[in-house]
Structure formats: structure tokens, C-alpha cells
Amino acid sequence: MKKYLSCLLMLLMLLFCTACAAQGAAGTETQTSGSVEGPISQLANPLEPVDSPAEYQARLGIQVDAPEGAEAVSYAILYQRIADITFLFDGHEYNLRAAAEEEDFSGLYGTEEKTEELDPGRNATLTAIRSGEEVYLKITWTGGGVTFILTNTDSAEEADIKAVFEAIP
């Protein structure tokens, strides 16, 4: 009798595990012709494209724009609180972010190699950040309760990013 009961319990556990495995497989994402199906497709995109920098003022209370002469400019709001502008300037790609926060929201991670004070009136500093073999440049400054962060990750020279900083309205 104990053998039959043990066999019956093992059979029930096997059926239970098979059913769970089939249900779990049905809930996973699959890649088909460039689209994602399943639970992962329900995740919110933290980057919301916007039409112009006027939306930063209206929605975030922040006034910021790309410098005169910038090309391929795109505007977005990141995490519903950070103005995010990407653009090309003199052949290099830059990212300019602004938020009413004091933390570093640049998205650059690594070891600070060098820091240089640029403009004491705006509390502006240039920082070189090493990440592996790459060195990225970041200029951070403040004004009107807003922190601004300009970054470059495609090997622009310090003079290049400084020129962009000076050109930002």
C-alpha cells in the first residue's frame, strides 16, 4: 500500500511540474520579425520623445536647448523628470541633460581621472571619466536650481566640448 501511495504522489508531482513548466514557457518573451511579444513588451520606455525644448519649460519648468549650429537634434524627457537633448556639433555627438536635481544623471560610469574648474560663476567643471580603455568627457554646471550635464563619448577633445559648453544658450 505504501508503494502505491508513493508512486501516486510521484506521478502527481510529475504532472504538477509539467504543467508549471508549460505555463512558464507560455509567459516568456519571444523575438519574431523585429518585435517582442510577451511580458517584456509591457515595460515602459523611460525615454519619451518630445517635439521641441518648449515642452521642457511647460512640463519640467526647465529652459534648455542645443547650441546654435547643432545638427541632428533630438529632444526627449527621461524618467519624466530629465530634459534630454542629443545632437551633433562639429562632427561629434553630444548629450545635454538638465534636471532640477543635484545628483549625477549623466549616465556615465567609471573612474574620474581629471577634474578642471571652468566657470566658477556657474559652478562649471570638466571631468574626464575612464571606463575601461575609453575616456569620456563631462561638463556639469548649475543655474536657477537646475543641474546641466553635457557629455561626449566619441573621443572629442577637451577644447571641442568646451566650445560646445560656451555655445549653449
Domain ranges across the chain: 48-167
pTM given for the model: 0.74
pLDDT in tens, 90-119: 999 999 999 999 999 999 999 999 999 999
Mean predicted confidence (pLDDT) in 65-78: 97
Q: According to the model, what pLDDT value does residue 34 have?
A: 41
Does the pLDDT of residue 129 top 80, yes or no? yes
Does the pLDDT of residue 168 top 90, yes or no? yes
Q: What is the C-alpha separation between 66 and 6, in angstroms, rounded?
A: 72
Chain centre to alpha carbon of residue 46: 8
Q: What is the C-alpha separation between 14 and 108, in angstroms, rounded?
A: 49
Q: Which CATH number fits domain 48-167: 3.30.930, 1.10.10, 3.30.200, 2.60.40?
A: 3.30.200
Q: According to the model, what pLDDT value does residue 10 have?
A: 53
Region at 133 (left for phi over 0; alpha for psi -120 to 50; beta for the rest):
alpha
Q: How many CA atoms lie within 13 A of 95 on its CB side?
A: 18
DSSP classification of residue 93: E
Q: What is the C-alpha separation between 165 and 66, in angstroms, rounded?
A: 10
pLDDT in tens, 16-71: 545 444 444 444 333 333 444 455 555 677 999 999 999 999 999 999 999 999 99
